[in-house]
Amino acid sequence: MLCNSAAVCPEQTAAIHLERKITYRELLAATARLGDFLTSLGYPPGSRVAVLFENSIEYIISFFAVFKAGYVAVPIDTSLNPEKICFILADCQAEILLFHTRYERQLGRILAQNPPIKWIISDKPLHLKPNGIATATFHDFLGQPEDYAAARNSIVNLPSDGSLQYDLKKESIAAPHELAAIFYTSGSTGSSKGVMLSHRNLISNTIATVEYLKLSPRDRVMVILPFYYIYGNSLLLTHILAGGTLVIDNRFMYPEVVLDTMEKEKVTGFSGVPSNFMILLNNSTLTARELKDLRYFTQAGGAMAPEVVRRLMNAFPQKEIYIMYGQTEAAPRVSFLPPEHLKEKLGSIGIPVTGVKIRVVDDNGTEVPVGKDGELAVAGDNVMLGYWNQPDEQREVLRNGWLHTGDLARMDEDGYFYIVGRRKEIIKAGGNRVSAKEVEECILENDKVAEATVFGVKDDILVEAIKAVIVLKTGATADQKEIQNFCKTRLADYKVPKYVEFAESLPKYQSGKVNKLLLMGKSS
Amino acid sequence: MAAIDQSAVRRRVREFIGETFLVGNEKDKLNDSDSFMQHGIVDSTGILELATFIESEYSLTIEDNEMVPDNLDSIDNLAGFVARKLG
């Protein structure tokens, strides 16, 4: 897909990161050089290469260079502690590490645990001199970052007549089932697993996503989501495929800075998870800005309460808002809600994307009637090859050609799907089954509440009781009784949280998803 | 009104950062001019916690458009910001 875009629009800007830019021609050249170097190391095809980089031009070069060399990319969550990083390196047996020196503080601890690493290729020279490990820098074959353009002369001349343009649908069908990348999940509902995605998984799903978002070379997406997260990876692949521009800004902790970047770079799209939107709506000047170049918002990475979606719709009635659903195991996109139907289908995750089939099934895998709850199951070219080295877990979710997502859902008469909750997030409160999601959405309708998360805790009387942890809006005050009374007016009594706690903030993974496991551990 | 003592602000902020975001002796290694963002000390959720602390500790309000690195991204920047707000 990179070759295709470089052939069609070589001088188009592929990526911007603060003051740095790179065109498709330069990106292809740099990727080819790094890819050739990786190939020269002599590893067999399919060898795993770990990529530990923050979002940057170097990340993009690294990711595509691994494919160029015929290896398998393993993007690493940069917020993990050294022990978890070493677990991943050992699990996937990565002998090559593409490494950003920003994380050099942790490198000693990573290497102290003897991961299988034999090569470290870093953006700049390391201060550490690791024993028994060969090192190289990007500078060795690309020159200074300011001068990656110097590599442009090394590539084959690209014809300007578009004759190299591929038939992408044919490419998708032709794409092999070979392993392309392993994305380790955050383990937010269990232990971390290496999701194996093939070239076909990624290409087919990328094409489907470009199609419904109507992406073109005119599109410029604001990238705040990490590329090592499957949703961030989707931004990368879709915009490279479309010949668009990736506008990278890693400073979302200061949302005003990112909003300024969006205006300055005239971005046409913004993609976020629910917590990103809540920060923007509650703690930034988002709604006071026109953002005249912005065409669309996309939201995935967990259910966003209808109340929050309404606020976004009211603030930007002319912009398209795409609510989307997916899983790492599905590469990731499963469904999207067409913006023109957002109002009447608010709360829905929409309809399947091209090439994907969805069913709601019972415990036996049999499809349930329309309107009935069951587990969401997915089939298509996007469904993963499996979990790396975890055949039991793989057998549990991949059954008879279908991916069992672990999400409870139902379908309406128009073929639109609604998530009821996570199977693992159903709380059995006093014998009644309660969806944590339903309680969270109820609490979020309270004007005083900025964020809320709900989970089950052990209880002597109920066996399991409902607990809510709430972040109030700035200046707001409330107590447990007030929240419980609010819930009582909207929910059945058995769904009202028995315990309500208030916090300054909710712990989150780097992707922005709430770390419920941490809160549950503190509550036990 | 006496001007706020910026050294006192630096000490109090360092204490809060150490208790809330750092482990072991990391607090002692943090320089007043170190960027929280560059050093990965605070994330997008943590910055809200930090802002709430500053508002509560010094009885001031941080507007949305003041949530920027120049005001919040180091102990030095915070001390200067508090002094300007109260000065």
Q: Where are the domains of chain B?
A: 6-86
Structure tokens at B26: 């990391």
Residue in A closest to B38 by C-alpha: A102
pLDDT digits (tens, 9 = 90+) for A474-518: 889 999 999 999 998 888 888 899 999 999 889 888 778 888 878
**pLDDT of residue A148 exceeding 60:** no
- Contact between residue A379 and residue A403 where contact means Cβ atoms under 8 Å apart: yes
| Per-residue pLDDT at A246 | 98
**pLDDT of residue A160 exceeding 50:** no
What percent of chain A stands above pLDDT 90? Answer: 70
Partner residue opposite B46 with nearest CB, options A283, A284, A505:
A505
**Confidence band, pLDDT 50/70/90 cuts, at residue B42:** confident
| Per-residue pLDDT at A480 | 94
**Confidence band, pLDDT 50/70/90 cuts, at residue A3:** confident
**Confidence band, pLDDT 50/70/90 cuts, at residue A163:** very low
Total CB pairs under 8 A between chain A and B: 53
Q: B68 CB contacts (<8 Å, ≥6 apart)?
A: A254, A256, A257
Candidate from A221-235, A397-411, A456-470, A482-496 with smallest mean pLDDT:
A456-470
Residue in A closest to B56 by C-alpha: A475
Q: How far is A219 from chain B (nearest CA, A)?
A: 26
| Per-residue pLDDT at A156 | 43
pLDDT digits (tens, 9 = 90+) for A223-278: 999 999 999 999 999 999 999 999 999 999 999 999 999 999 999 999 999 889 98
pLDDT digits (tens, 9 = 90+) for A341-390: 999 999 999 999 999 999 999 988 999 999 999 999 999 999 999 999 99
Q: How far is B37 from chain A (nearest CA, A)?
A: 7
Picking from A58, A32, A61, the residue whose alpha carbon sits closest to that of residue A151 is A32
Can you list the domains of chain A with their CATH numbers? 2-11+18-166 (3.40.50.980), 199-422 (3.40.50.12780), 430-523 (3.30.300.30)
pLDDT digits (tens, 9 = 90+) for A165-178: 445 566 655 567 89
Question: What is the distance between the alpha carbons of residues A338 and A345, in angstroms, rounded to a whole number?
Answer: 9
B46 touches chain A (CB under 8 A): yes
Which whole number is the average pLDDT over B46-50?
A: 86
Surface-to-core class of residue A156, CB atoms within 10 Å of its CB (0-12 exposed, 13-18 middle, 19+ buried):
exposed
Which whole number is the average pLDDT over B63-87?
A: 93
B45 touches chain A (CB under 8 A): yes
pLDDT digits (tens, 9 = 90+) for A218-231: 999 999 999 999 99
* Pairwise CB contact (< 8 Å): B49 & A504: yes
Q: Which carries the bigger pLDDT value, residue B27 or residue A333? A: A333
What percent of chain A stands above pLDDT 70? Answer: 91
Residues on chain A touching B73 (C-beta within 8 angstroms):
254
Which whole number is the average pLDDT over B42-51?
A: 84
**pLDDT of residue B69 exceeding 80:** yes
Structure tokens at A357: 């089939």
Structure tokens at A46: 């399919």
* Pairwise CB contact (< 8 Å): A284 & B69: no
- pTM greater than 0.80 (yes/no): yes
* Pairwise CB contact (< 8 Å): A474 & B52: yes
**pLDDT of residue A117 exceeding 80:** yes
Partner residue opposite B44 with nearest CB, options A252, A285, A504:
A252
Architecture category of domain B6-86 in CATH: Orthogonal Bundle (1.10)
Partner residue opposite A255 with nearest CB, options B36, B46, B67:
B67
**pLDDT of residue A150 exceeding 50:** no
Residue in B closest to A513 by C-alpha: B45
B67 touches chain A (CB under 8 A): yes
pLDDT digits (tens, 9 = 90+) for B1-23: 456 789 999 999 999 998 888 77
Structure tokens at A490: 């909207």
- Picking from B23, B34, B45, B47 by the largest number of A CB atoms within 10 A of its own CB, the best residue to mutate is B45
For chain A, the average pLDDT equals: 89
Which whole number is the average pLDDT over A302-320?
A: 93
Amino acid at A247: V
| Per-residue pLDDT at A157 | 44
- Contact between residue A315 and residue A286 where contact means Cβ atoms under 8 Å apart: yes
**pLDDT of residue A213 exceeding 80:** yes
Surface-to-core class of residue A233, CB atoms within 10 Å of its CB (0-12 exposed, 13-18 middle, 19+ buried):
buried
pLDDT digits (tens, 9 = 90+) for A58-114: 999 999 999 999 999 999 999 888 888 999 999 999 999 999 998 888 899 999 999
* Pairwise CB contact (< 8 Å): A254 & B72: yes
Residues on chain A touching B43 (C-beta within 8 angstroms):
253, 508, 510
Residue A150: DSSP 8-state? G
| Per-residue pLDDT at B24 | 67
Buried-exposed string A98-116: b where 16+ CB fall within 10 A, e elsewhere: bbbbbbeebbeebbeeebb
